[in-house]
Chains A and B, each alone.
Chain A
Amino acid sequence: MSAAEEAQTARSARNGWLLSAPALVVLTVAAAGPLLIVVVYSFLLPGKYGNVEWGFSLDGWRGILWSKDIFTDEYVLADAHLTIFWRSVKLSVLTTITTFLVGFPTAWFIATRPASQRALWLFLITIPFWTNLLIRTYAMNEVLRSEGLMNTVLMKLGLIGSPLQVMYTDIAVFIGMTYVYLPLMVLPLFAAIDRFDMRLLEAAYDLYASRMQVLRRVILPIVKPGIIAGSILVFVPSLGAYVTPRVLGGGKQMMIGNFIELQFGQGRNWPLGSALSMALLVVVMVALLIYVKYANREQGHG
Chain B
Amino acid sequence: MAERGFQVARLPGFATTAVLVFIALYLPIFTLVAYSFNASQSVAVWGGFSFGWYEKAWANTQVKEATVRSLIIAVSASGIATTVAALAALGTTRRARFKGQTAIYVMINQPLMVPEIVTAVALLIFFAQIKVATGYQGLGYLILAHSAFCIPFAYLPIRARLEGMDLSLETAAADLYASSWQTFRHVTLPLLLPGIIAGAMLAFVISLDDVVITEFVKSGGQDTLPTYMLGQLRRQLTPEINAISTGLLALTVVLLTAFFLLTRKKE
Question: Which positions in A face B, CB cutoff 8 Å?
Answer: 9, 12-13, 15-20, 22-24, 26-35, 37-38, 41, 51, 102-103, 105-106, 108-110, 112, 119, 123-128, 130-136, 138-143, 145, 147-149, 179, 182, 198, 201-202, 205, 211, 215, 236-237, 239-240, 242-243, 246-247, 256-257, 260-261, 264, 270, 273-274, 277-278, 280-281, 284-285, 288
Contacts and interface: CB of A to CB of B under 8 A. Distances in A.
A242 B24 CA distance: 23
Contact of B35 (A142, A202, A284): A142
Contact of A51 (B14, B98, B128): B128
B57 to A, nearest CB: 14
B51 to A, nearest CB: 19
B266 interface: no
Q: Looking at chain B's contact residues, is the secondary structure mostly helix, strand, loop, or mixed?
A: helix
Interface of B: 1, 6, 8-15, 17-22, 24-29, 31-32, 35, 42-45, 80-81, 83-85, 87-88, 90-92, 95-96, 98-101, 104, 107-108, 110-111, 113-126, 128-129, 144-145, 147-149, 151, 155, 202, 205, 208-209, 211-212, 216, 226, 229-230, 233, 241, 245, 248-249, 252-253, 256, 260, 264
Given A16-B98, A20-B104, A139 B122 contact: no
A30 B144 contact: yes
A109 B10 CA distance: 9
A115 B231 CA distance: 44
Nearest to A112: B9
A205 B120 CA distance: 52
B18 A105 contact: yes
Nearest to B103: A24
A145 B1 CA distance: 49
Contacts of B81: 26
Given A51-B128, A127-B256, A27 B92 contact: no
B118 A240 contact: yes
Cβ-closest 7 pairs across A and B = A19-B91, A240-B115, A109-B18, A13-B98, A147-B44, A34-B122, A139-B28
Given A51-B128, A138-B245, A37 B122 contact: yes
A147 B31 CA distance: 13
A91 to B, nearest CB: 15
A260 B151 contact: no
A261 B216 CA distance: 9
Given A138-B229, A139-B32, A277-B121, A27 B111 contact: yes
Given A102-B21, A147-B42, A274-B121, 11 more contacts: A12-B95, A23-B108, A23-B155, A34-B123, A37-B126, A38-B121, A128-B29, A130-B202, A211-B12, A260-B118, A261-B117
Contact of A132 (B31, B96, B122, B248): B248
A193 to B, nearest CB: 10
Contacts of B11: 105, 108, 211, 215
Contact of A239 (B88, B100, B115, B129): B115
Nearest to A41: B125
B107 A257 contact: no
Contact of A142 (B18, B28, B155, B211): B28
B111 A31 contact: yes
A30 B122 CA distance: 9
Nearest to B99: A13
A124 B25 CA distance: 9
14 contacts: A23-B151, A27-B110, A27-B111, A30-B147, A31-B148, A34-B122, A105-B18, A124-B22, A128-B29, A139-B32, A149-B31, A236-B113, A239-B115, A246-B230
Contacts of B253: 127, 131
A105 B17 CA distance: 6
A8 to B, nearest CB: 9
